[in-house]
């Protein structure tokens, strides 16, 4: 709850004060404000994601039967020493949540295209 508020308050202030003044300067400063808003949003998404990847890193080993790489949760000695030998294990809950998020995105995309077609005529 705290992280979204910490990100939203400065972004709202940038947008508010960017639009003050005459129309020509307001448009230019608003463009700068929107760029700063996009940059701070990307940073607020990237930093927690990178920290979660680093915190969830496990060693990878080859499966004896299939030959595929799989997570080795027992040995955590060399995490971070080689990016080719470490990774993030994905559980069934994460796969399920990812499926829900992707299907929601496709649903929103289809809805938005329908609205654009409906109101473009």
pLDDT tens digits for range 29-59: 777 677 777 777 788 788 888 888 888 788 8
When pLDDT is cut at 50, 70 and 90, the band that residue 3 belongs to is low
Q: Which residues pair with 88 in a beta bridge?
A: 57
Q: Which residue has the tokens 């808003």?
A: 37
Q: What is the pTM of this model?
A: 0.52
Among 87, 91, 52, 50, CA closest to 72: 87
Provide the residue ranges of all domains of the chain, joining segments of one domain with +: 1-55, 57-89, 91-121
Q: What are phi and psi of 104, to 5 degrees?
A: -65, -40
Identify whether the C-beta of residue 79 lies closer than 8 Å to the C-beta of residue 59.
yes
CA distance 121 to 119: 6
The side-by-side arrangement of strands in the sheet containing 69-72 is 69-72, 57-62, 86-88
Identify whether the C-beta of residue 41 lies closer than 8 Å to the C-beta of residue 11.
yes
Calculate the alpha carbon distances from 85 to 52, 71, 94, 98 in Å. Answer: 18, 10, 21, 24
State the average pLDDT over residues 78-90. Answer: 71
């Amino acid at each position: 709850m705290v992280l979204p508020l910490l990100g939203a308050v400065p972004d709202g202030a940038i947008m508010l004060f960017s639009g003050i003044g005459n129309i020509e300067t307001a448009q230019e400063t608003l463009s700068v404000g929107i760029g700063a808003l996009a940059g701070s949003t990307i940073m607020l998404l990237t930093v927690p994601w990178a920290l979660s990847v680093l915190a969830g890193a496990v060693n990878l080993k080859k499966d004896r039967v299939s030959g595929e790489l799989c997570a080795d949760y027992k040995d955590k000695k060399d995490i971070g020493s080689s990016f080719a030998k470490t990774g993030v294990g994905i559980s069934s809950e994460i796969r399920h949540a990812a499926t829900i998020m992707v299907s929601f995105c496709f649903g929103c995309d289809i809805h938005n295209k329908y609205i654009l077609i409906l109101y473009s005529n």
